[in-house]
Chain A
Amino acid sequence: MLAFEMERPASLKEAFEILSRSGPDTAVKAGGTDLLVWMKKNLVHPELIVDLSLIEELKGISFDPSGGLVIGALATVNEVAEHPQVGKFYPALMDAALSHSDFVMRNKATVVGNLCSAVPSGDMIAPCCVYEGVMHLVGPAGRRKVPVMEFITGPRKNVLQKGEIVKSVELPLPKGHSAGCYLKLGRRNALDLAQVGVACVITDGPGEREYRLSFGAVTPRPVRAKVAEDLLRGVVSPDESLLDKVAEAAMACVDPITDVRASREYRISMVGELTKKALRKCLERF
């Protein structure tokens, strides 16, 4: 690993001061499990790393039934997986958290960091999209909120401006009775990047039954399967022929690449299969 300098601010105010006078080759770090690997592989060469891990304002997870779940930038994947309200109200996020890397890495890797890294196979992206997550950004010019769907603009790209930090991601509580799941297709049970991930949420909300579907590892930017969701809207128990149509619609909205883990064709085909499987599992859990 090439040499770099490191700052460890104790507050957001201090972090903004450091970032305002830092050069272009500055990296911001929470857990660091992506950053350190990328540096080791010579993909990035920061001259300065600003380690956020001491900033109290970025720690913790809070839940409020009227608002929802707020996951601080430093909350680890295990902290989220072990949070009682996550298991109860956000099962798709819980499934995804438990599918992420392995037990030890989840003590270091953060949920917000996974979103900021914006790698298409990031397991936190699809569940945060089906729960309609909103990123809370803070910077020297003030605060702004950006939906996760818009926060990620491409592989390893996000909308963060220089000097800006993600404070938290907020997931509104699904209205009414709901169920969710995240299915991940990998080559082994742990320590694997997804070939395909499917996140599904069903809610009975204030109106008719609503379905939400999002995918991991098969699109350069986060996507919701709007056509498939519309086909299902209001249907209480979809039959096989509807599920087939939904699977077709799901396959039409992804655009995967071929890489060492799987081919484009295989991934598309699996999106269809896993979409049906995820819907069945959600209906079982409902």
Chain B
Amino acid sequence: MPKQPINVVLNGKPVTLEVEPRTTLLRALREFGVTSVKRGCEEGECGTCTVLLDGKLQKSCMVLAVEAEGRKVVTSEGLLGPDGELHPVQKAFVEEGAIQCGFCTPGMVLAAVDLLNRHPDPTDEQIKEGLSGNLCRCTGYVSIIRAVHKAAAMLKERR
């Protein structure tokens, strides 16, 4: 199957990806070198391939790359500040030990950013619901929930 070019705005920069109809957004991004988007189950279960597509969380293994034509994609790399400093959510994950093997982290961080946009001061239940699509097999989630609370406080201070 011949490849076709698609145009997306990746972390604020317009780029062209060469894809087949069957290429998922996950595979297209990884082939382009965006390795924070992890290939886990590729069945929409694990959430390691989570991205923000036009501001909404999506599992990129469930999106065909051609569906992203003309749309904005944000990955974990896109959360960094202008001088490369970590986003408060990323910082909180590091400080609270919410990262162990790190495989789920990029997706988990994006889900946490989206959650905090919707609920700036979330309850434990809201955090669990917001992160329900992202599996972590290391932490038992306790440190992740702690990190999200910490990030919420950091973001509040910044406002």
The listed residue (B1, B24, B44, B66) touching A33 by CB distance below 8 A is B44
Give Cα A124–Cα B82 distance, bound, in whole angstroms: 44
* B21–A5 CB distance below 8 A: yes
Q: Which chain A residues border B124 with CB–CB below 8 Å?
A: none
The listed residue (B21, B42, B64, B130) touching A32 by CB distance below 8 A is B64
* B22–A191 CB distance below 8 A: no
On whether A102 and B132 interact (CB within 8 A), knowing A3-B1, A33-B62, A108-B59, the answer reads yes
Q: Identify which of B43, B61, B133 gathers the most chain A CB atoms within 10 Å of its CB.
A: B133
- Closest-by-CB residue of B relative to A76 is B56
Whether, in the assembled complex, B75 has its beta carbon less than 8 Å from a beta carbon of chain A, the answer is no
Whether, in the assembled complex, A6 has its beta carbon less than 8 Å from a beta carbon of chain B, the answer is yes
Give Cα A4–Cα B22 distance, bound, in whole angstroms: 6
- Closest-by-CB residue of A relative to B50 is A104
Whether, in the assembled complex, A189 has its beta carbon less than 8 Å from a beta carbon of chain B, the answer is yes
* A37–B132 CB distance below 8 A: no
Majority SS at the chain A contact face? loop
Count how many pairs of residues, one from A and one from B, have CB atoms less than 8 Å apart in the complex: 77
* A3–B21 CB distance below 8 A: yes
B26-47, CB < 8 A from A: 42-45, 47
* B132–A103 CB distance below 8 A: yes
On whether A191 and B45 interact (CB within 8 A), knowing A104-B134, A107-B57, the answer reads yes
Give Cα A40–Cα B26 distance, bound, in whole angstroms: 14
Q: Which chain A residues border B47 with CB–CB below 8 Å?
A: 102, 104
The listed residue (B21, B44, B56, B61) touching A4 by CB distance below 8 A is B21
Q: Which chain B residues border A43 with CB–CB below 8 Å?
A: none
On whether A103 and B129 interact (CB within 8 A), knowing A8-B66, A32-B64, A191-B45, the answer reads yes
Give Cα A62–Cα B97 distance, bound, in whole angstroms: 45
* A103–B57 CB distance below 8 A: yes
What would 12 more interface pairs be, CB under 8 Å, given A32-B63, A33-B44, A53-B67? A2-B22, A8-B66, A33-B62, A51-B64, A103-B57, A104-B47, A107-B57, A108-B59, A189-B128, A190-B132, A191-B133, A191-B135
Q: Which residue numbers of A lie inside 8 Å of B, CB to CB?
A: 1-6, 8, 31-33, 36-37, 40-41, 49, 51, 53, 101-105, 107-108, 189-191
Closest 6 CB pairs of A and B: A104-B133, A102-B133, A190-B132, A6-B21, A102-B132, A3-B1
Selected A-B contacts with CB under 8 Å, 13 pairs: A3-B22, A4-B21, A4-B22, A32-B62, A32-B63, A36-B61, A40-B42, A40-B43, A102-B133, A104-B50, A104-B59, A108-B62, A190-B132
